[in-house]
C-alpha cells in the first residue's frame, strides 16, 4: 500500500509540473499575443497591466507551487530541502509583490481607483499571509530555529496554513481572470465567444487543476486508506 500511495503522490506531482508549464505558456500567449505585450513603462497603460497576470501566475502561483512540492520531490537532505523550499517561496513572494506593484502602477497612471474589488482585497491579504507564513517558517525551521518540541508542534499548522494560503492564491487568481475578462467583454473590447475569451477561461481552468494537483500530491501520503477501503 505504501508504494502505491507514493506512486500516486508522484503522479500528481508530475501532473502539476505539466499543468504549471501549460499555464505559463497560456498566460504568455494571452498577454503578449492577444493583449499586445509587456512593458514597465509605456504610453499604452494596458501593457503595464499585462505584467501583473504574468508575474502573479508564473512568479507567484507557479513558483509557489514548485516551492510547495519541492520538500517532497527533492532527494537531498532535510536541511538542503528546507533551504530550497524557503528560497523558492521567497522568490515567489518577491515576484508576487512586484506583480501587485504593477497592478497599482497601472491603476494610478490610468486614473483608476485601487482596492475596490474582492480580487484586490484577497490579493493583498494573500500576499500578506504568504509573507507571514514565510517568516514563521524561516525562524522556526531554519534560523535561528526553534526547539525540537516547538518545531514538531508547529509543523502540522505550518503545512495546513501553507495549503490554506496556497488555495487562497488560486481562488484570487480565478477572481482575477473573471474580473479582467468581464471588464473586456462589458467594455465591448472582447466578444464573449472570441478565441481570447476561450483562452482566458481555459487558463483559469488549468490553474484550478494545477492547484488541485499540488494539494493532492501533498495530502495523498497522509490519507489512511485502511480506514476507507474495508471489507464488511
Determine, yes or no, domain membership for 145: yes
Determine, yes or no, domain membership for 232: no
**123-163 pLDDT tens trace:** 999 999 999 999 999 999 988 989 999 999 999 999 999 99
Q: Look up the CATH number of the domain holding residue 16.
A: 1.20.120.1770
Compute the half-sphere exposure of residue 193: CA atoms within 13 Å on the CB side of its CA.
Answer: 0
Determine, yes or no, domain membership for 229: no
Range of the domain at 82: 1-223
Determine, yes or no, domain membership for 126: yes
Total number of domains constituting the chain:
1
Pull the grid cell for residue 124: 493583498
Quick one: pLDDT at residue 1? 47
Mean pLDDT, rounded, for 206-230: 81
Determine, yes or no, domain membership for 230: no
Q: What is the pTM of this model?
A: 0.93
Determine, yes or no, domain membership for 228: no
Q: Reply yes or no on whether the pLDDT at 106 is more than 90.
A: yes
Determine, yes or no, domain membership for 219: yes
Distances (CA, A) of 104 to 99, 101, 108, 112, 179: 9, 5, 6, 9, 16
Amino acid at each position: 500500500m505504501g508504494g502505491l500511495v507514493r506512486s500516486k503522490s508522484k503522479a500528481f506531482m508530475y501532473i502539476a509540473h505539466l499543468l504549471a508549464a501549460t499555464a505559463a505558456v497560456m498566460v504568455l500567449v494571452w498577454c503578449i499575443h492577444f493583449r499586445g505585450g509587456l512593458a514597465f513603462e509605456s504610453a499604452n497603460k494596458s501593457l503595464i497591466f499585462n505584467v501583473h497576470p504574468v508575474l502573479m501566475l508564473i512568479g507567484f502561483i507557479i513558483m509557489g507551487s514548485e516551492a510547495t512540492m519541492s520538500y517532497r520531490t527533492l532527494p537531498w537532505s532535510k536541511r538542503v530541502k528546507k533551504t530550497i523550499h524557503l528560497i523558492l517561496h521567497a522568490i515567489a513572494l518577491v515576484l508576487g509583490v512586484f506583480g501587485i506593484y504593477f497592478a497599482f502602477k497601472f491603476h494610478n497612471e490610468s486614473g483608476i481607483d485601487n482596492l475596490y474589488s474582492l480580487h484586490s482585497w484577497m490579493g493583498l491579504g494573500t500576499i500578506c499571509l504568504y509573507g507571514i507564513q514565510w517568516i514563521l517558517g524561516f525562524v522556526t525551521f531554519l534560523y535561528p530555529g526553534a526547539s525540537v518540541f516547538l518545531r514538531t508542534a508547529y509543523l502540522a499548522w505550518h503545512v495546513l496554513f501553507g495549503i490554506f494560503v496556497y488555495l487562497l492564491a488560486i481562488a484570487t487568481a480565478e477572481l482575477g481572470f473573471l474580473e479582467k475578462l468581464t471588464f473586456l467583454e462589458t467594455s465591448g473590447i472582447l466578444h464573449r465567444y472570441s478565441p481570447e475569451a476561450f483562452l482566458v477561461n481555459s487558463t483559469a481552468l488549468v490553474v484550478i487543476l494545477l492547484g488541485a494537483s499540488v494539494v493532492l500530491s501533498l495530502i495523498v501520503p497522509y490519507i489512511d486508506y485502511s480506514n476507507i477501503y474495508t471489507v464488511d
